[in-house]
Structure 1
Amino acid sequence: MGGKYTKRYTAEFNRDAIALVDSTGRTVTQATRELGISSESLQGWHRQARADRGEGRPDELTTAEKEELKRLRKLAAEQAEMIEVM
C-alpha cells in the first residue's frame, strides 16, 4: 500500500527502467537495487508494459483500456448525478 509521500518518477525513467530489465536480462530485483527504487514499483511498470505489448495475462488491461474505463466511469457518474437532480 502506498505511503503518504509516494515518490513519483517520470515516464522516461519508467521506460528506461523497464528497458534495463528487458534488454539486459537483469531481473526486476537486480534492476531495482541498481536504480534504488522499490521492487513493487518496477514490477508494476514491467507488468503494465508487458500488457501494453500484448504479452500480459488475458485479464490484464492495457494502459489505453484503463484510460477508457476511467473515462467511462466518470461519464457514468456525471450521468447518475444528472438523473439525481431531475
Structure 2
Amino acid sequence: MTSKTRREFTEEFKREAVLLLESSGRPLMQVAKEFGIQPSMLRNWRARGRAPAGSAAGHTGVGKVLLPASAEQAEIRRLQKELERARMERDIPKELAQQS
C-alpha cells in the first residue's frame, strides 16, 4: 500500500487563492483547479477568512485570511481584478481562433 502524504499550504498561498476567487468572479471549481487543490479546501479557507475572530477557536493555521487591512491591499486587489480582466480579454481571441 502506498501512503499519501498530507500537503501543507502557507498562509500566503491560502490568502492568494481566496483573494483570486473573490476578485476574479470565476467559479470556485475553476480557481481550485488552477491552484491544484480540492474545491472543498478553497471553500473552507474562504469561510474561515470570513468568520468572526472568536469563532475559529479550536482551528489552528488558517484564522483571518481575507479582509484587506489597508489602502495598499485594497489597491492590490483592484489591480488584480483589472489584470484578470485584461488577461481574459487577451485570451478570448486566441480561443476563438482555435475554434475556427
User: Normalized against structure 1, the TM-score is what?
Assistant: 0.55
In structure 1, what is the Cα distance between the partners aligned to 2:43 and 2:31?
A: 10
1:20-41 per-position Cα deviation (integer Å, ceiling 9, x unaligned): 1111112211101111111121
In structure 1, what is the Cα distance between the partners aligned to 2:28 and 2:12?
A: 17
Percent identity over paired residues: 31
Q: In the alignment, what sits opposite 1:18?
A: 18
Aligned partner of residue 6 in structure 1, secondary structure: coil
Q: CA RMSD in A?
A: 2.8
Q: In the alignment, what sits opposite 1:77?
A: none
Q: Give every structure 1 segment of 4 or more consecutive aligned residues whose post-TM-superposition deviation is greater than 6 Å.
A: none
Gaps of 5+ in 2: 61-100
For residues 64-83 of structure 1, the aligned pairs below 5 Å read: 66=57
* Residues 1:36 and 2:36 aligned together: yes
Higher relative contact order (CA closer than 8 Å, sequence separation 6+): 2
User: Normalized against structure 2, the TM-score is what?
Assistant: 0.48
1:46-74 per-position Cα deviation (integer Å, ceiling 9, x unaligned): 11112148xxxxxx924xxx15x98xxxx
Aligned partner of residue 51 in structure 2, secondary structure: helix
Q: Max radius of gyration: which structure?
A: 1
Q: In the alignment, what sits opposite 1:61?
A: 55
